[in-house]
Amino acid sequence: SDQPTILFHDGNSIPQIGLGVWQTPNDTAVTAVKAALDSGYRHVDTAAIYENEQGVGEGIRASGVDRAEIFLTTKLWNGDQGHDATLKAFDASLKRLGTDYVDLYLIHWPAPKRGQFVDTWKAFIQLQKEGRARSIGVSNFYPEHLQRLIDETGITPVINQIELHPDFPQKETRAYHEKHRIITESWSPLGQGTLLTNPVVAGIAAKHDRTPAQVITRWHIDNGLVVIPKSVTPSRIAENVKIFDFKLDDEDMQTFAGLEKGGKRIGPDPMTASF
Ligand code: NAD
């Protein structure tokens, strides 16, 4: 495929673009995942809490694409943190997905008040040793949470999946990641759709004769981020990956940087999230 991959510090690689399937029921997940694989995606991002792992697994099998060619990510829900609960939840995820390994397993949120993310990480390390989670990472971790994992286990997550879009670029966290060879993955890369009607983005899109979704997705790629735009509409799923036949220039990058002013989170702050 023409899609770039990014190398993890553990030696495995991740396709830089994937399909996000949050808020997608099982039956829709089957068709969305199949549409994505038909249009060239080789990476799907789900989570136990999305309650669609079964549909994702079915979509993969319906596509006819070899499991070995697909990069599959799922995530451990907060209520399943803790060493033994993690191992049990992981087995249940594999069973629903209908596969005997995932390419990437993520701790979905640090949930610092639970005080369990280090014990959880120790179970993740075990799952990687067993080869059932080929790579292990986290989501929504602040640098101080990452530092605790590193200090207490010596094993650095390969990736941190965080809320990130052009008007909320997470520069401090990205600087920490770079120092520790952690890849940054952008969730809600299109700002949950809010950026698609932004006039500044529309201007860049018009300049390249592309759609707003395409130029934003390309912005993530050009920033070295892993990006997982979500759609359940086959034509949009195909549109979002058709971004490797044009380039953003310095002027576009500067125009995007102008969006940072006033940018803020859409989702919960991981430090204070109630779940
Ligand atoms: P997103 O930023 O990907 O935006 C998705 C919305 O944009 C869609 O609902 C659709 O309405 C619209 N859209 C997409 N492509 C379009 C196109 N070509 N034309 C017009 N409209 C289009 O939002 P998201 O779903 O929040 O984030 C993407 C993925 O990130 C999720 O599906 C999930 O996999 C992941 N995620 C992870 C976390 C986490 O805590 N780790 C949290 C949120 C999302």
Quick one: pLDDT at residue 189? 98
Give the domains, in start order, of the chain with CATH numbers.
5-260 (3.20.20.100)
Say if residue 90 is exposed, middle or buried (CB neighbours under 10 Å; 0-12, 13-18, 19+): buried
Give the distance (Å) from ligand 1 centre to CA of residue 45. 11
Q: What is the full DSSP assignment across 75-119?
A: EE-GGG-SHHHHHHHHHHHHHHHT-S-EEEEEES---GGG--HHH
Q: What is the full DSSP assignment across 137-177?
A: EEES--HHHHHHHHHHHS---SEEEEE-BTTB--HHHHHHH
Question: Could you say which of 50, 105, 142, 176 is catalytic?
Answer: 50
Within 6 A (CB) of ligand 1 lie 20-22, 45, 108, 139-140, 161, 187-193, 196, 211, 213, 228-231, 236, 239-240, 267
Beta-carbon-side half-sphere exposure of residue 6 (alpha carbons within 13 Å):
22
Closest-CA residue to 105 (of 47, 178, 150, 149): 47
- Reading the block at residue 163, the tokens are 């809320």
Closest-CA residue to 255 (of 216, 186, 205, 201): 201
Quick one: pLDDT at residue 223? 98
Helix or strand or coil: residue 10? coil
Quick one: pLDDT at residue 1? 61
Say if CB 47 and CB 228 are below 8 A apart: no
50 is catalytic: yes
Query: Phi-psi bin for 101: left (phi > 0), alpha (psi -120 to 50), beta?
Result: beta
Q: How far apart are CA 78 and CA 193, in angstroms?
A: 26
Q: How far apart are CA 27 and CA 31, in angstroms?
A: 7
Mean pLDDT by 10 residues, the chain (275 residues): 91 98 98 98 98 98 98 98 98 98 98 97 98 99 98 98 98 98 98 97 98 98 98 98 97 97 91 90
Give the distance (Å) from ligand 1 centre to CA of residue 190. 6
Q: Name residue 268's beta-bridge partners.
A: none
The residue whose CA has the least distance to atom 18 of ligand 1 is 236
Strand order in 43-45's β-sheet? 19-20, 43-45, 71-76, 102-107, 133-139, 159-163, 183-187, 226-227
Q: What is the full DSSP assignment across 216-267?
A: HHHHHHHTT-EE--B---HHHHHHHH--SS----HHHHHHHHGGGTT---SS
Closest-CA residue to 160 (of 90, 73, 261, 221): 73
Say if CB 145 and CB 112 are below 8 A apart: yes
